[in-house]
Structure 1
Amino acid sequence: MSGRWDEGGSGRPTGSFDFDNDETMVMRALPQTIEPPHMSRAEARKQREAQSKRAKRGKKVGVLALLVLVIAVLGVGAYGATWYMNRTQAAADYAGPGGAPVVIQILPGETASEIGATLAEKDVVASSAAFYNAAVSNSAEIQKVQPGFYQVPVQSSAADALDTLVAPESRVGLVVVAAGRQLHDSSDAQTGALKKGIYNLIEEASCVGSASAQTCVTADELNTAGASSDLAALGVPSWAMSSVQGVPDKDRQLEGLIAASSWDFDPTGTPTEILRTLVQGSAEKYESTGILTAGSGVGLSPYQLLVAASLVEREALPDDMSKVARVIVNRLAVDQPLQFDSTVNYSLDTTEVATTDDDRARVTPWNTYAMPGLPATPIASPSIEALQAVESPALGDWLYFVTINMQGETLFTHSYDEHLANIVLAQESGILDSGR
């Protein structure tokens, strides 16, 4: 047997013992504190006590840190659970049916939460969370909701409010202005059909309220507001201001300044506020084409470009617009009267392609048979295509054109004799027959 004994005389084995016979015993020593040779037993004891205190403090810090972590996790979990429940569980909601309708606006890019907040603010729904839940439950329906103005009954259930928003009859304050539309009504001499003016279309789009208590901004109120001398309040752009101030018939001073497009307006606004919305939006639309600078190439101001574009709109099919624009520019350059039947028709209540000798003889600020130059105002709302045609007309020396058949075929020429021959073709086709 081999081994080592503690030299300190303690008589305790400090290593391992191996027996040379078949039996082998291995005995591991218990952990012990090794005292430095220079340290007394009392000092060693104090050191052990200090180590024990540090160990206990370390355990306490560890337990405390673990407790803080657990609390934090529980807090986040509770917040997440609360958020989830607010979003997906039952929220304050009206049972319905709703009451009187109110007008709300949905802006481009708004989320279901933002729409819900607007509805809650107007007391359409009891809470924005209820509307959000309804939208989540019917994601296909919420995606149909478009920016604009809607009338929705107050104190509706969230599901009913969503259904109302996607119903076409709930949309208010939406007016569609077709290219060639005028401010005031006119009728066709051939068919007697009424062509509603822009003021009448706005009136129809402005009606709000229940069937028994509906209110509308009338065409007469719009006409009065549109004739105001406060052009800034009407949104007239600076590039049109001086020309509009000089319009002889104030009822027509906004002609052409409401562009052909779909427009949203607040139907609860005043007539002046409604017109300002449409005129300002139209000015931005026109300016996007380059109207402020394009006229330099054809010798026209921005407002004159708009006037010429309205003539192109009423005289030409899309394929011929740039050619008709060139005829206008060429005639103005040589001070030749435009002699457009559309300008004669403008001041008539009943219109048709053909005009009579008496019609053409009437002197008005718009009749280009009776005066040189452009009319006093646009004669309709031009399309952007018509405006672009005037801004950049086709190249050509044409001074005359005439549509020769019902299919819209139009012939252009520089020669007056050729033009007279083309008029005969038009007469033979019946396109110039009068209904009066």
Structure 2
Amino acid sequence: MDTPFDAPPSSPVPPPDPRGSRHPRAYDPLATHDATGPYVDPGRDDFDRRQRGERDGVAAGVDPASAPSRRRPDPRSALPTRDRSPKRSAAAERRRKRKRVVIAAAVAFMVLLVGGIGYAGLRLAGQFGGPDNSDFSNTAGTSDVVVQIPPDSSLTAFGEILKENKVVASVGAFTTAADGKPISAGFYKLRTEIPASTAVSMLTDDNRVGRVVIPEGLQLDTKEGIDGKTTPGVFARVAEATSLTLNGQESGVTVEELAQAAATATPQELGVPAWATDAVSALAGDHRRIEGLIAPTLWEAIDPNLSPVQMLNYLISRSASLFAQWGLPESGTTSSNMTPYQTLVTASIVEREVNRAEDYPKVARVVVNRLDDNQALQMDSTVNYTSAIQNIDVAGDDFTADTKWNTYQQKGLPPTPIGAVGQPALEASLNPPVGNWLYFVSVDQQGTTLFTDDFEQHKRNRQQACDNGVLQTNCG
């Protein structure tokens, strides 16, 4: 029998809730309600079933299995019935091909990029296709050339400079030939287009240009000794070191050009430090005004292409830096109440008076004590400075020579240093020891020097020097 809702016979309809439909009974979600329960509306449920049936193309009361289908046709069924999968497959294949082409192009670009970088690196390293070891074969070369190697240059940098100057054919040939051999920086006179091994053999002191040793105590001018030996001065040594013949042409500076530059150039042009400017300016026109301003040392690389003024500037300005390193102040006074320039003059006397560095401090103290007592220094070294013949045993007219440097005739310090000042003499003059010494004399050929503050003792010490053949003047 048809019923308005499909409820099992064993599930009677519950009695109405006395509280009304607004207060249904509590709902148990675990209970099986199907078509019964407090939320079931029999009329609504039947309506919903009919609606579902109509939507599905089945009239109410009709068996769905026997009812004809009324489903809405698929719009795509109206399209041609041919198979679309080949077209989609072709498009996908084209996309895959394009993707493969892009990837291949990117890979090719990266390969070219990496290869280019590697090629450039290998070329820079001189290793592309193996190192370039090409070499010249003519040991005589083709022409003269002066090459400068900066300090601290590597062997490879050395080779590159030689290759740029056409001395060697390749850096590789030079580094192979020079491996393990001592080579110094500086200026060298070489030949162009020579074998690397020949170039290495020429990189010796014999082919150095602008390398000169200035010993302690050396003076600007060349001097002759009582023994007939000639001592080349600073000017002569610098001129010799920087003069050379290049392809038949003489170049370099002369002694006369250096002396002229020293006498006439301004202190600023000569590189004179501020603490010596006044003293140098006071002797304008006299080349000896720069005496003592060139430090004794090994000068490794004087540029032979410099003018005389530039060359002196190079030597004097760098010497000022050396003096500063050795402790000479740039201004003020020392513990002995001397200016930097006066200290340099004192140190030059110390340098020339005795042969042993251990005696330098005492000689410096003698100079300071005599100046403090307003005594003439009476140092033989200052007399010899202007003498034609250098002699430790000063005699005759030299004592009375009227020069600014004769401390037998002039009180105080001479107007300039009397030679190149080394570090030991400078340090001794900066800080002379405490002592009352006023006299000293070297008494033997070994340079033993005796000091005293008593004149009678000094005369006895001097007689000892006469007895040993060191002195001959005023001997008893």
TM range (shorter): 0.7 to 0.9
Shift of 1:57: 6.3
For normalisation by structure 1, the TM-score amounts to 0.79
Are the counterparts in 2 of residues 112 and 132 from structure 1 also a CA contact under 8 Å? Answer: no
Q: Percent identity?
A: 35
Q: How many residues align?
A: 390
Which amino acid counterpart does residue 230 of structure 2 have in structure 1? L
User: Which is greater in Rg?
Assistant: 2
Are the counterparts in 1 of residues 159 and 174 from structure 2 also a CA contact under 8 Å? Answer: no
**In structure 2, distance between residues paired with 1:286 and 1:86:** 53
Are the counterparts in 2 of residues 400 and 414 from structure 1 also a CA contact under 8 Å? Answer: yes
Cα 1:116/1:53, change in 2 over 3 Å: same
Q: Is the aligned partner of 1:307 residue 2:345?
A: yes
Q: Which residue of 2 aligns with 1:226?
A: 262
User: What SS is found at the alignment partner of 1:227?
Assistant: helix
Cα 1:155/1:311, change in 2 over 3 Å: same
Q: Which residue of 1 aligns with 2:385?
A: 346
User: What SS is found at the alignment partner of 1:104?
Assistant: strand
Q: Is the aligned partner of 1:107 residue 2:150?
A: yes
Shift of 1:100: 2.9
**In structure 1, distance between residues paired with 2:129 and 2:206:** 32
**In structure 1, distance between residues paired with 2:133 and 2:419:** 54
Greater relative contact order, per chain length (Cα 8 Å cut-off, separation 6+) = 1
Shift of 1:254: 1.5
Shift of 1:53: 7.3
User: What SS is found at the alignment partner of 2:245?
Assistant: coil
User: What SS is found at the alignment partner of 2:290?
Assistant: coil
Quote the RMSD (CA, aligned, Å). Answer: 3.1
User: What SS is found at the alignment partner of 1:382?
Assistant: coil
For normalisation by structure 2, the TM-score amounts to 0.73
Deviations 1:252-288 (A, max 9, x none): 1121111111113112322222222111111111122
Shift of 1:167: 2.8
Cα 1:221/1:87, change in 2 over 3 Å: farther
Within the candidate set 293, 310, 313, 1:273 is matched to: 310
Deviations 1:155-186 (A, max 9, x none): 4344433332x232210111111101111111
Which amino acid counterpart does residue 281 of structure 1 have in structure 2? R
Within the candidate set 396, 401, 426, 2:465 is matched to: 426
Within the candidate set 429, 444, 458, 1:405 is matched to: 444
Moved more, 367-376 or 283-292: 283-292
Shift of 1:343: 0.6
Q: Is the aligned partner of 1:203 residue 2:239?
A: yes
Within the candidate set 278, 295, 301, 1:259 is matched to: 295
**In structure 2, distance between residues paired with 1:59 and 1:171:** 67
User: What SS is found at the alignment partner of 2:411?
Assistant: coil
Shift of 1:69: 4.3
Question: Gaps (5+ residues) in structure 2?
Answer: 1-76, 78-82
**In structure 1, distance between residues paired with 2:317 and 2:471:** 39
Within the candidate set 262, 266, 271, 1:235 is matched to: 271
Pairs within 5 Å for 1:22-421: 63-82=104-123, 83-85=126-128, 88-91=131-134, 97-125=140-168, 130-140=169-179, 144-164=182-202, 166-189=203-226, 191-210=227-246, 213-247=249-283, 250-263=286-299, 264-291=301-328, 292-293=330-331, 295-316=333-354, 317-421=356-460
Deviations 1:321-357 (A, max 9, x none): 1111111111112211111000111110111111114
Cα 1:67/1:87, change in 2 over 3 Å: closer
Cα 1:371/1:90, change in 2 over 3 Å: closer
**In structure 2, distance between residues paired with 1:67 and 1:289:** 65
